[in-house]
């Protein structure tokens, strides 16, 4: 309850443009969530800190918080949080003038969203329309980034994926998704990094899953308590490795010729980060 109240106050300050005050409350919320092992709320706090620091052009801090949110979401098997973390990183790197890097992160997020398509069939029409409205700016940002790099066919493909999310198309297109289509196409280089991302992230997920199963037990043996302590240490190491991998990927794409040069500011980037700040559990 304390963490949610701190988050709510922080969001009020954020909406008023008082970013420093918002950051102070989000940091408190993060600490409360961490101490209480409320990992979803901790990831949510990092997402809010990504937005607030981004609004102040503190892009290094904004990037760090987005990476941390992504790591927590992955270890907790929280697909929406993973998509949110990837999308926020896309927005931050777009703001930092690195479209090639923003694109590879954005494509991973799009493909994560596309993977949720089958689950939408059970939801009522209001929720489905809300889903479309929430994620449309994200698809359009990725398309704009691709178009800005002259990758017009890929940009059109992303816009076509957005059209697939239109309410009238949900059920009709399921067969396409079931055959493995309906995904943003990766270049050879992007596919290599995506495979490495999955490898590192899957290890983190396995540690998180085991810890979650043990914490869910109402009664634990001393051996299980000891295992939790070991898993906590393993998760810290795994999270650092995951964030180091993200830094390595970021450095690789920043150094590439295709990612260098003068880049125009993407108009949707700031708005997207505002849209994504509410993806967490609150």
- Scored b (16 or more CB within 10 A) or e, 197-232 reads beebbebbbebbebbeeeeeeeeeeeeeeebbeebe
Range of the domain at 207: 2-276
Neighbours of 85 (CB within 10 A): 31
Give the whole-angstrom CA distance, residue 178 versus residue 18.
46
Q: Tens digits of per-residue pLDDT, 144-176?
A: 999 988 888 888 888 888 776 554 444 444 444
281 belongs to a structural domain: no
What is the number of H-type helices and E-type strands within the chain?
Answer: 12, 0
* Tens digits of residue pLDDT in 244-268: 878 887 777 776 654 443 344 444 4
Q: Give 215's pLDDT tier (boundaries 50, 70, 90).
A: confident
Residue 133 inside a domain? The answer is yes
Q: Is residue 282 part of a domain?
A: no
Highest mean pLDDT among 76-80, 108-112, 189-193, 200-204: 108-112
pTM for this model (two decimals): 0.74
pLDDT digits (tens, 9 = 90+) for 26-68: 999 999 998 888 888 899 999 999 999 999 999 999 999 999 9
Instruction: Give the model's pLDDT for residue 32.
Output: 94
Q: Could you tell me if residue 68 is inside a domain?
A: yes
Among the listed residues 252, 235, 238, the one whose alpha carbon sits nearest the alpha carbon of residue 200: 238
Burial label for 86, CB within 10 Å (0-12, 13-18, 19+), is buried
Does a structural domain hold residue 219? Answer: yes
Mean of all residue pLDDT scores within the chain: 78
How far apart are alpha carbons 66 and 58 in whole angstroms?
Answer: 12
Q: Is the pLDDT of residue 202 over 50?
A: yes
**CA angle, residues 6, 29, 208, in degrees to nearest 5:** 140
Q: Give the residue-averaged pLDDT of 17-23.
A: 94
Q: Is residue 34 part of a domain?
A: yes
pLDDT for position 173: 43
CATH number of the domain at 25, please: 1.25.40
Span 190-205, average pLDDT: 79
Q: Is the pLDDT of residue 187 over 50?
A: yes
Please check whether residue 165 lies inside any domain of the structure. yes
Percentage of the residues of the chain whose pLDDT score is greater than 70: 77
Number of compact structural domains in the chain: 1
Q: Is residue 220 part of a domain?
A: yes
């Amino acid at each position: 309850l304390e963490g949610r109240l701190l988050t709510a106050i922080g969001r009020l300050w954020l909406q008023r443009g008082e970013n420093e005050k918002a950051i102070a409350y989000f940091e408190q919320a993060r600490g409360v969530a961490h101490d209480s092992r409320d990992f979803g709320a901790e990831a949510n706090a990092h997402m809010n800190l990504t937005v607030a620091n981004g609004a102040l052009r503190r892009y290094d801090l904004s990037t760090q918080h987005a990476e941390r949110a992504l790591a927590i979401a992955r270890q907790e098997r929280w697909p929406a949080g993973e998509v949110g973390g990837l999308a926020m990183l896309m927005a931050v790197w777009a703001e930092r003038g690195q479209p090639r890097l923003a694109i590879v992160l954005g494509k991973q997020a799009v493909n994560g969203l596309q993977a949720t398509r089958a689950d939408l069939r059970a939801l009522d029409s209001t929720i489905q329309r809300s889903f479309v409205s929430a994620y449309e700016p994200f698809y359009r940002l990725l398309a704009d980034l691709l178009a800005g790099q002259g990758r017009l066919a890929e940009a059109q493909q992303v816009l076509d994926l957005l059209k697939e999310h239109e309410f009238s198309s949900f059920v009709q297109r399921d067969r396409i998704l079931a055959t493995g289509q309906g995904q943003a196409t990766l270049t050879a280089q992007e596919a290599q990094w995506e495979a490495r991302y999955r490898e590192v992230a899957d290890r983190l997920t396995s540690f998180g899953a085991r810890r979650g199963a043990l914490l869910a037990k109402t009664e634990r043996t001393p051996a299980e308590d000891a295992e939790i302590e070991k898993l906590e240490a393993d998760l810290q190491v795994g999270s650092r490795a995951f964030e180091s991998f993200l830094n390595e990927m970021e450095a690789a794409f920043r150094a590439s010729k295709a990612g260098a040069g003068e880049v125009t500011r993407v108009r949707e980037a700031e708005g997207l980060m505002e849209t994504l700040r509410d993806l967490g559990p609150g």
